[in-house]
């Protein structure tokens, strides 16, 4: 681990030194050096050289984007424990599929879990089964294996954004759009979580890329004859729709359908949709989707559709679920955080986008973005990741504005927005250090060089924006984001052990002398505990936990401090003799409460 830190620190330290710090020298020389010379200096010495190199060909662009994506998404990917609650719910349901061999039904312990379709569970199970087959130790409780579909989905979405953007802008503009998506905060989070949203994003951007290739040639020919797409491209569209449905239900149909409907209304014609080969395409979609839907419907008597469509989707549309309600406008405000660092450029792009709104390329992207965004704003239940499938459209729009050199240069707007390339690294660095002090009582000094270098890059991105232009400054923010991710997720977040108490509790079981330990937990019932401690873990009340200890076998009771008195009273009434320890203190990130869990065992246990 020490060698790994030294290597990574050397890499990113060199990056900050070679790329960000020479900007200071350039600034000092501006009184005697022309801006053209300055730009030449940067082309030879900065990360902008990588942009020039990568934009030379599609292969180089794809390789560059994969490397950048991995640099963004891998820090902490393998080390961060299961995150409550959604990730742990998905992983545990997949683990039960593997344990039972039932790949049709979806269950969390004894309860059905019919909120989402089967797709993500199949992908996760395939990875874990493959890992077991090649001998990965404890594969079923190794959370990063369950995250691999999300990682691949995120990288695929970045590559898909580049491929989609090539239909609208040059290769260089497409590369900028893909970098905007790769670096955005929300996708950095989703790439590290074993859930549906990164995979959904991939399916949406692929489907929209094909849809654009069906629509734009028809517009270029002024509504002439509709030439069908070649079979591989048309098949890709319908396969992406089917994969999106199996991953997260009809959401992909809403996004793609609203976009197609909007441009058809604007053009007063839907003839262009024939290019998608709809009849064989719909048949192919049914072939992919219906077998599992029929199987789960026969198994559950229609309960899956009732729960997923009625209790989950329609309930979210009619009212705020699980305290996740927010007023319209929530996503607009949140956008500036979740799409950072590229969100800083979005306000300056709005005037040019508005001016070009009647151009086919612009209103296709707006049709992708605006109708679905309005729907999400009107739905009472709001979670940050709901609008993620719309972010590629924003990235391509902003990249097009940058490429056309029509980004607003109004001084007040520049002063208001660009400074956040400096402010955000400072705020995130302070918050991360404060978190490790509060939870770990530790400064975590190993992260400080990364955070300091990120702030330096943010400083020069802001200060030299007017000197070097948008592209160079944005590349500095990419460097700042990479350094910040390395410091926060690669060093600090993975060290916040009090935020993951399930890990310590599961270690109590694994370190015991028992071959098959089992636990009951009262007061702490997070799914990460079930995932790590075992499917047989009972989530119960303190009295039932005391009853549980009377049973045969190697048994433990995890009792949260607030319920210890009830446990002790029940144990006394039953005549149960027990021994206590160890105690696990931590922080439940699901409800924001500090917890203290005591481990109890029968007094005669070894």
261 and 304 Cβ atoms separated by less than 8 Å:
no
Query: Which residues does 55 contact at the CB level (< 8 Å), separation at least 6?
Result: 61, 170, 171, 172, 175
Element (H, E) at 531: helix 527-533
**pLDDT value at residue 308:** 80
**pLDDT value at residue 35:** 42
Q: What pTM value is reported for the model?
A: 0.91
Q: How far apart are CA 245 and CA 224, in angstroms?
A: 33
List, for residues 8-39, the tens digit of each pLDDT value: 443 334 344 344 544 444 444 443 344 444 44
**pLDDT value at residue 319:** 60
Least confident segment among 3-17, 157-171, 269-283: 3-17
List, for residues 469-504, the tens digit of each pLDDT value: 999 999 999 999 999 999 999 999 999 999 999 999
Q: How far apart are CA 184 and CA 394, in angstroms?
A: 12
Q: What percent of the chain has pLDDT over 90?
A: 81
At residue 222 the predicted structure's pLDDT band, cuts being 50, 70 and 90, is low
The DSSP string of 408-455 is: ---HHHHHHHHTHHHHHHHHHHHHHHHHHHHHHS---GGGHHHHHHHH
Structure tokens at 359: 């151009």
The CA radius of gyration of the chain, in Å to the nearest whole number, is 26
Q: How far apart are CA 406 and CA 348, in angstroms?
A: 9
Query: Which residues does 504 contact at the CB level (< 8 Å), separation at least 6?
Result: 497, 584, 586
326 and 316 Cβ atoms separated by less than 8 Å:
no
Element (H, E) at 522: strand 518-522
The DSSP string of 155-222 is: HHHHHHHHHHHTTTS-HHHHHHHHHHHHH-HHHHHHTTSSSSHHHHHHHHHHHHHHHHHHHHHHHHTT
How many CB atoms neighbour CB 27 within 10 A?
15
Minimal CA–CA distance to 414: which of 475, 349, 331? 349
567 and 522 Cβ atoms separated by less than 8 Å:
yes
Least confident segment among 108-112, 215-219, 519-523: 215-219
- Mean pLDDT, the chain, integer: 90
Could you state, in order of their start, the residue ranges of all structural domains in the chain? 2-46+410-497, 86-401, 500-602
* Helices within 301-359 (DSSP H only): 303-305, 315-318, 330-338, 346-355
Strand order in the sheet with 538-540: 538-540, 518-522, 555-560, 593-602, 578-588
Minimal CA–CA distance to 259: which of 164, 190, 177? 164
**pLDDT value at residue 4:** 38
């Amino acid at each position: 681990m020490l060698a790994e830190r030294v290597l990574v620190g050397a890499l990113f330290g060199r990056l900050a030194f070679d790329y960000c710090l020479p900007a200071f020298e350039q600034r000092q020389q501006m009184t005697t050096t022309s801006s053209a010379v300055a730009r030449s200096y940067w082309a030879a010495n900065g990360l902008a050289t990588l942009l020039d190199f990568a934009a030379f060909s599609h292969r180089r662009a794809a390789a560059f984007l994969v490397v950048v994506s991995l640099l963004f998404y891998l820090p902490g990917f393998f080390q961060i424990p299961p995150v409550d609650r959604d990730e742990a719910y998905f992983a545990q349901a997949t683990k039960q599929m593997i344990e039972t061999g039932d790949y049709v039904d979806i269950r969390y312990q004894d309860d059905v879990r019919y909120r989402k379709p089967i797709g993500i569970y199949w992908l996760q199970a395939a990875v874990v089964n493959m890992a077991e087959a090649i001998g990965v130790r404890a594969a079923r409780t190794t959370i990063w294996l369950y995250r691999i579909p999300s990682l691949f989905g995120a990288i695929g979405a970045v590559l898909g954004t580049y491929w989609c953007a090539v239909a609208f802008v040059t290769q260089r503009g497409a590369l900028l759009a893909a970098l905007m998506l790769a670096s955005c905060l929300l996708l950095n989070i989703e790439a590290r979580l074993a859930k549906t949203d990164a995979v959904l994003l991939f399916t949406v951007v692929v489907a929209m890329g094909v849809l654009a290739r069906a629509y734009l040639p028809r517009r270029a020919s002024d509504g002439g004859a509709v030439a069908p797409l070649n079979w591989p491209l048309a098949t890709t569209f319908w396969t992406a729709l089917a994969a999106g449905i199996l991953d997260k239900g009809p959401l992909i149909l809403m996004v793609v359908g609203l976009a197609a409907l909007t441009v058809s209304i604007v053009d007063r014609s839907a003839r262009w949709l024939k290019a998608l080969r709809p009849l064989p395409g719909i048949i192919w979609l049914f072939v992919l989707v219906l077998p599992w839907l029929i199987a789960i419907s026969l198994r559950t008597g229609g309960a899956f559709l009732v729960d997923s469509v009625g209790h989950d989707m329609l309930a979210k549309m009619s009212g705020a679920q699980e305290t996740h309600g927010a007023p319209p406008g929530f996503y607009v405000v949140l956008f500036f955080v979740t799409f950072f660092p590229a969100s800083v450029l979005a306000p300056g792009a709005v005037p040019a986008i508005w001016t070009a709104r009647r151009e086919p390329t612009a209103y296709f992207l707006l049709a992708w973005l605006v109708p679905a965004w309005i729907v999400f704003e009107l739905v009472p239940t709001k979670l940050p990741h709901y609008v993620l499938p719309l972010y590629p459209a924003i990235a391509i729009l902003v990249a097009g504005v940058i490429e056309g050199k029509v980004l607003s240069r109004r001084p007040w707007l520049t002063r208001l927005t660009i400074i956040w390339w400096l402010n955000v690294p400072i705020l995130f660095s302070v918050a991360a250090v404060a978190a490790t002090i509060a939870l770990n009582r530790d400064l975590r000094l190993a992260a400080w060089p990364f955070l300091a270098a990120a702030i330096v890059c943010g400083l020069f991105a802001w200060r030299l924006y007017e000197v070097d232009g948008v592209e160079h400054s944005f590349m500095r923010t990419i460097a700042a984001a990479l350094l910040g991710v390395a410091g926060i997720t690669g060093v600090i977040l993975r060290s916040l052990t009090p935020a993951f108490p399930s890990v310590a509790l599961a270690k109590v079981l694994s370190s015991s002398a028992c071959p098959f330990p089992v636990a009951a937990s009262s007061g702490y019932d997070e799914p990460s505990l079930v995932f790590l401690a075992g499917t047989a873990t009972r989530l119960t009340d303190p009295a039932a936990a005391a009853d549980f200890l009377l049973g045969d076998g190697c048994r433990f009771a995890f009792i949260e401090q607030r319920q210890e008195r009830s446990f002790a009273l029940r144990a006394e009434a039953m005549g149960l003799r027990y021994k206590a320890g160890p105690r696990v203190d931590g922080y439940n990130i699901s409800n924001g409460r500090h917890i203290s869990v005591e481990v109890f065992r029968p007094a005669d246990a070894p």
